[in-house]
Every structure is written in C-alpha cells, then in structure tokens.
C-alpha cells in the first residue's frame, strides 16, 4: 500500500485539562501517514484518482482549531476517526504534538500517536 504524508502541520487550539490551557490556547503540531492505493493516480495523473491534500488539511484544521478537548488523546482519536470517515484511507497514523503542556520540568514536547484502520470502524 502507498502512503501520503503530512509533516509538521501547525494549528492553534485550546485543548487541555487546566483552565489556562482552555483560555490562552497554544500551538499544536500534527503529522499524518495516510495509507491508500495510489497506483491509479500514478498512472492517470488525475486528481480524481487520489485525495485532495487541501481537503485533508482543512479537515484536520477544523478539528484542531474548531473543537475543544481536555485530552490530546481524544483530539488525536477524533482526527483519525474523521479522516477515515471522510476519505478512502485504509489506515491513518496520526501524531499530535503538544509542545507546552503544564509539566514542571525540562522537555521538548509531549506527543500522542494513534493508528486506526478502516476495518476497525465496522467492528
């Protein structure tokens, strides 16, 4: 199977358990690995035979910037579910990075990664 990657998408969202996170918000980064058969698109050179990258981006943007979740785990799961529901992907790998969670210590970021498959939707 083939893959389409989205690397380092950046959005501003208001996700977190604590009030300041919901009030002030922060930057979130999203990476995707999207599995589907691209053989026809590779042959025809026609957008109709693949997915529109701008539509995938807009789907993720709407979730990260438009909805609010306490947990990054829920945000990550929601992105995966929506991508599988809206596009013909066989599998999606979604990684959401929260660079500034309220942890007292030195670290670069915290990230959640989930893999979901189309057949899991019907289980």
Which residues are marked as active site? Answer: 98
| Integer Cα distance of 109 and 72 in angstroms | 12
For residue 61, what are its two tokens?
A: 């943007």
State the residue for tokens 């893959």: 3
* Separation of alpha carbons 14 and 66, rounded Å: 9
- CA 86 to chain CA mean position, Å: 13
């Amino acid at each position: 199977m083939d893959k389409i990657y989205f690397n380092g998408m950046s959005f501003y969202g208001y996700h977190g358990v604590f009030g300041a996170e919901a009030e002030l918000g922060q930057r979130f980064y999203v990476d995707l690995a999207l599995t589907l058969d691209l053989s026809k698109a590779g042959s025809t050179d026609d957008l109709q035979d693949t997915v529109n990258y701008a539509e995938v981006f807009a789907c993720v943007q709407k979730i990260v910037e438009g909805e609010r979740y306490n947990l990054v785990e829920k945000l990550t799961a929601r992105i995966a579910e929506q991508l599988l529901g809206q596009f013909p992907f066989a599998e999606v790998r979604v990684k959401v990075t929260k660079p500034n969670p309220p942890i007292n210590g030195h670290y670069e970021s915290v990230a959640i990664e989930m893999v979901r498959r189309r057949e899991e939707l019907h289980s």
